[in-house]
Amino acid sequence: MIKEISAWISTKVAGLTIGGNVQVGYRAQDAPVRCHTFLESGGAIPAFGLTDRIDYLTQVATRAETYQTARADAWAIFNAINGTAGWQISALLSGGQAYEAQVIEALAAPHYIGQDEKGAFEFSTNYLFRMKKA
């Protein structure tokens, strides 16, 4: 499901390109310095007793040459998706399931997590996607 969510987020913020400045599942060593990594953060949690519901945790990490750029990128994604609802997230994979994001909520505001080994600045935000089968 991380691929579907990553593709969906990439349509909500201008300039995001999967395989370019968006890395899915892990950040490749040759990723651009200014990039966004979409990761599973605990994966899917079934809603017990509700067979058509699922909660999905996702981490979005942004990295850039400067603190301000990394921060601005993290907040652009946050402002585009946090607190929104009713989005259709289509199935990209053969045999996959389409979902409706009933609500998307950040578990906290984007926060600074430090500099990487090459001195680039990084921010991270964790999101909870509360979804039901479409």
Q: What is the pLDDT of residues 13-37, one digit of tens each?
A: 999 999 999 999 999 999 999 999 9
Average pLDDT of span 3-7: 90
* Number of domains observed in the structure of the chain: 1
Per-residue pLDDT band for 44 (boundaries 50, 70, 90) equals low
Instruction: Classify residue 104 by burial, with Cβ atoms within 10 Å: 0-12, 13-18, 19+.
Output: buried
Q: What is the mean pLDDT of residues 49-67?
A: 89
Range of the domain at 39: 2-133
Query: What's 19's domain CATH number?
Result: 3.30.2000.30
State the pLDDT confidence band at 1, using cuts at 50, 70 and 90: confident
Look up the pTM and report it.
0.90
Between CA 121 and CA 118 the distance in angstroms is 9
Cα dihedral 107→54→81→59 (10° resolution): 50
